[in-house]
Amino acid sequence: MANSTTKKVFIITGANRGLGQAFVEELIKEPSNYIISISRSRTKDQALYDSSRFHLLEIDLSEENLDSKLSVLKNLIDRQEVYFINNASIILPIVKIENLTYEDIERTLAVNITAATLIVKFIIRHFKTNAHSFVNISSGAAHRAISNWSLYCSSKAFMDIFFKAAQVEYPNYRFYSIDPGVIDTAMQESIRDSDFPEVTNFQNLKKDGKLKSAATAASEILKTIL
Ligand SMILES: NC(=O)c1ccc[n+]([C@@H]2O[C@H](COP(=O)([O-])OP(=O)(O)OC[C@H]3O[C@@H](n4cnc5c(N)ncnc54)[C@H](OP(=O)(O)O)[C@@H]3O)[C@@H](O)[C@H]2O)c1
């Protein structure tokens, strides 16, 4: 639980690997930060963090009843400044639209859209007197259509405009959508291993050493929002 020394609370989805893990590794360095990871698991390091600094809210974001599972947040956060980083996202399967299954569509929309919008809603509704910053981890794919990425591109575009609408509704809070650039994570690995027209471009980015580390991407984003 956040305590009297906590100044800022960071709620991060998908904080067990990739960019989300890098956010935690950077934020834990500041003793007055309290981190809530909404993820399906935690890293070995995260298991060792003191409970006054780090809490795992173990949730599969593709499942239903997210609203009721989020109610724990009311016991963890008091009047502190709250940052929500909407980081978890899925890109697979990378296939043509005709090959998408109902489950593919449901899972991608659940994780990339429904879960994110429900968490934003929950925070706004239940922490009315806190200061809030909402950070959507966007992508170039929100603005550039890529063949075989239809669900990923469109869900990223949805969240961008959702955050813009939220900013208009709640001018007292800060809403960011930030494209982190191309990062060396498991997501890029699965892109390189997929079959789609632009795959060579992504394989070349890795071959040419053009991928950003997750640590660099996380610290760039934190410089912008803090
Ligand atoms: N990598 C890039 O080049 C790149 C470029 C632009 C934007 N981005 C964006 O950056 C963000 C982070 O990407 P990344 O590269 O770090 O991706 P990643 O390595 O694939 O990690 C994705 C994260 O999302 C979590 N997640 C997926 N499905 C989940 C579910 N059902 N419930 C809970 N958590 C779930 C994963 O947890 P599990 O371990 O439980 O699956 C993992 O922590 C994403 O929003 C992505 O769109 C990435």
Q: Ligand 1 pocket: which residues have CB below 6 Å?
A: 14, 16-20, 39-41, 60-62, 87-90, 111, 137, 139, 180, 182-183, 185-188
pLDDT tens figures, 18-37: 999 999 999 999 999 999 99
The residue whose C-alpha atom lies closest to atom 11 belonging to ligand 1 is 87
For residue 76, what is the enclosing H or E element?
helix 73-76
Q: What is the pTM of this model?
A: 0.98
Q: Tell me what pLDDT residue 118 has.
A: 98
Would residue 127 count as lying in a domain?
yes
> What pLDDT does 120 receive?
98
Is residue 186 in a domain? no
What was the pLDDT predicted at 4?
81
Are the CB atoms for 81 and 131 separated by under 8 Å? yes
Domain around 80:
8-181+215-225
Mutate to test the pocket of ligand 1, among 13, 57, 87, 189 (most ligand atoms within 8 A of CB): 87
Q: Given this model, what pLDDT does residue 47 score?
A: 98
The answer to whether residue 188 is domain-embedded is: no
In whole angstroms, how far apart are CA 89 and each of 8, 76, 204? 24, 24, 23
Report strand pairing: 81-86 vs 132-137.
parallel
- Domain-located, residue 79: yes
**What backbone torsions phi and psi does residue 145 show, to the nearest 5 degrees?**
-75, 130
In a domain, 112, yes or no: yes
The CA distance from 49 to 55, in Å, is 9
Tell me whether residue 75 is in a domain: yes
Sheet of 174-178: strands edge to edge?
54-58, 33-39, 8-13, 81-86, 132-137, 174-178
Give how many domains the chain has, as a whole number.
1
How far, in Å, is the centroid of ligand 1 from the Cα of 19?
A: 7
For residue 13, the ligand 1 atom closest to its alpha carbon is 34
Q: Which stretches of 4-63 are assigned E, i.e. beta strand?
A: 8-13, 33-39, 54-58
Q: Which residue ranges in the chain fall short of pLDDT 50?
A: none
Is 130 within the bounds of a domain? yes
Q: How far is CA 190 from the centre of its chain?
A: 18
Which CATH number is 136's domain given? 3.40.50.720
- Tokens representing residue 64 in the block: 């239903």
Q: What pLDDT score was predicted for residue 209?
A: 98
Note whether residue 87 is domain-resident.
Answer: yes
